[in-house]
Amino acid sequence: MKEEKPSFKEALRKSGKSMWMSFPILLGAVLLVSLANALIPKQAIVNFFGAVPFIDSLIGAGIGSILAGNPVTSYVIGGELLSQGVSLAAVTAFIVAWVTVGIVQLPAESMLLGRRFAITRNIVSFVFAIIVAYATVIIMGIAGL
């Protein structure tokens, strides 16, 4: 017996219902990230950094992972950090982690995409944030910028 494929209308209805059910979770994650960004002053973030580039890049990636946000905001904060004397490696790790790692969104991502996938994606993104930071420093050094 041949399996019957669901109709386009049925697939659309199920997709819409799934999106509607996940909307409160996504909205909660966005609001929590916004609250953290509003409550933590930028100067407090600058005070976390020392003078050891590798440790600074770990700290930058860690802070970016927790605070997570959109790229436009990260560029503004990154510029402020650079002007305060924070290393390029730390700022780059912060920016990359800010937009790719999401500790705050992890519960929502786990529920929607699966726990194993969400954790693996966040770990890989964290590691690559540090790798990209050092690649950026090397490239900028070669370019003389």
Total domain count for the chain?
Answer: 1
- Residue among 38, 59, 61 nearest 49 (CA): 59
Name the residue range of residue 88's domain.
8-143
Q: What is the pTM of this model?
A: 0.68
pLDDT at 67: 80
Phi, psi of 10 (to 5 degrees): -65, -40
Query: Is position 1 within any domain?
Result: no
DSSP three-state, residue 18:
helix
Query: Is position 35 within any domain?
Result: yes
- Tens digit of pLDDT for each residue in 22-78? 778 777 766 766 776 677 776 776 677 777 778 889 998 998 898 877 777 777 778
Contact (CB, 8 A) for 106 and 119:
yes
Query: Is position 68 within any domain?
Result: yes
Give the confidence band of 2 by pLDDT, cuts at 50, 70, 90. Answer: low
